[in-house]
Amino acid sequence: MERFAESRRVGLARALSKLGYCSRAQAARLVRAGRVRLNGAARHDPETPVRLGRDQLAVDGILVTAQSKIYLMLNKPRGVITTASDEKGRETVYSLLGHGSSWLAPVGRLDKASEGLLLLTNDSEWAARILDPSSHLDKTYHVHVGVLADDALAEKLIRGVRVGGELLRAKQARVLRTGGHNSWLEIVLNEGKNRQIRRMLEWQGIEILRLIRVAVGPLALGQLAKGKSRALAPAEKIAVDRAVRASDHRAKIRKNR
Question: Strand 115-121 relative to strand 208-216: parallel, antiparallel, unpaired?
Answer: parallel
Nearest to 233 by CA among 244, 247, 219, 243: 219
Contacts of 180 (CB under 8 A, 6+ apart): none
Name the phi and psi angles at 245, rounded to 5.
Answer: -65, -40
The span from the CA of 230 to the CA of 220, in Å, is 12
**Rounded-to-integer distance, Cα 51 and Cα 74, Å:** 34
Dist. CA 241–CA 66, nearest whole Å:
21
Catalytic residue among 45, 86, 111, 150: 111
* Euclidean distance between CA atoms 112 and 141, whole angstroms: 15
Paired with 76 in beta bridges are: 116
* Type of residue at 164: G
Contact 212, 220 (CB under 8 A): no
248 is catalytic: no
Active site (catalytic) residues: 111
